[in-house]
Amino acid sequence: MSLVYKFVEISIVTDESIEEAVNAWVSRGWQWDSIKFVTTEASRRPQMAFISFVREVRHEQGQSPGQGQGEPPPPGSGPRLVKSEPGDERE
């Protein structure tokens, strides 16, 4: 077994957005690990937050570590919580 980590960026930091992100990823089998806030000297309010999740994965015979793990959820399976990559049709 090994650990796989997931990092989610929240650009609008409110209690609702944090709650939505944590509940969405926990319901997908991830365990909340930590949250880090990004602030500036000009404002005490966080500009963004990074939430980390972790889960244990069991490696099946013939499968390399990380293969098939940490993949994004299929389209339409929940809120889009991270920035999309170029060519990602789920925007």
pLDDT digits (tens, 9 = 90+) for 54-91: 999 887 765 555 445 455 545 444 455 555 445 544 43
Residue 66 belongs to a domain = no
Residue 18 belongs to a domain = yes
Residue 84 belongs to a domain = no
Measure CA 78 to chain center: 12
The beta strand positions in 1-91, using DSSP E, are 2-10, 31-40, 43-57
Domain total in the chain: 1
The pTM score is 0.63
Any residues with CB less than 8 A from the CB of 3 and at least 6 apart, and which?
A: 54, 55, 56, 57
The mean predicted confidence, pLDDT, of the chain is: 79
Domain that holds residue 13: 2-57
> Which residues are paired to 31 by β-bridges?
54
Residue 83 belongs to a domain = no
Q: What was the pLDDT predicted at 68?
A: 52
pLDDT digits (tens, 9 = 90+) for 3-41: 999 999 999 999 999 999 999 999 999 999 999 999 999
Of 75, 86, 73, 88, the C-alpha closest to 27 is 73
